[in-house]
Amino acid sequence: MYEMVKTPNPPRSRCPINFGLEIFGDKWTLLILRDMLMVGKKTFKEFQASDERIASNILSERLARLEQSGLIQQQAVKADARQIHYAPTDACRALLPVLVEMAYWGTTHDPKTGAPKSFVRSYERDRDRLLLALAQGTDPAKS
Amino acid sequence: MYEMVKTPNPPRSRCPINFGLEIFGDKWTLLILRDMLMVGKKTFKEFQASDERIASNILSERLARLEQSGLIQQQAVKADARQIHYAPTDACRALLPVLVEMAYWGTTHDPKTGAPKSFVRSYERDRDRLLLALAQGTDPAKS
DNA sequence: CCATTTTACTTGCTTTTTGCAAGCGATAGA
DNA sequence: TCTATCGCTTGCAAAAAGCAAGTAAAATGG
Instruction: Tell me how close the Cα of A92 comes to any Cα of chain B, in angstroms.
Output: 10
State the first-to-last Cα distance of chain B, in angstroms, to the nearest integer. Answer: 39
What is the Cα–Cα distance from B135 to B61, expressed in whole angstroms? 26
CA distances (Å), origin A79, targets A40, A44, A65, A83, A87: 19, 16, 26, 9, 17
B117 touches chain A (CB under 8 A): no
Q: Which nucleotide is nearest to B55 (CA to C1')?
A: C19
Q: Is the pLDDT of residue B141 over 60?
A: no
Cα A130 from Cα A97, distance rounded (Å): 10
d(C-alpha B82, C-alpha B111), whole Å: 42
Rounded to the nearest 5°, which phi and psi values hold at A73?
-135, 145
B106 and A17 in contact by Cβ < 8 A?
yes
Q: Residue B49 has what pLDDT?
A: 96
Chain A hits for B21, Cβ within 8 Å: 27, 30-31, 102
Q: Which among B17, B108, B112 is the nearest to A34, CB-wise? A: B17
Question: In this model, does residue A2 exceed pLDDT 60?
Answer: no
Rounded distance between C-alpha atoms, residue A107 and residue A38, angstroms: 15
pTM for the model? 0.93
Averaged confidence pLDDT in chain A: 92
Average pLDDT over residues A96-107: 98
In this structure, the number of other CB atoms found within 10 A of the CB of residue A101 comes to: 23
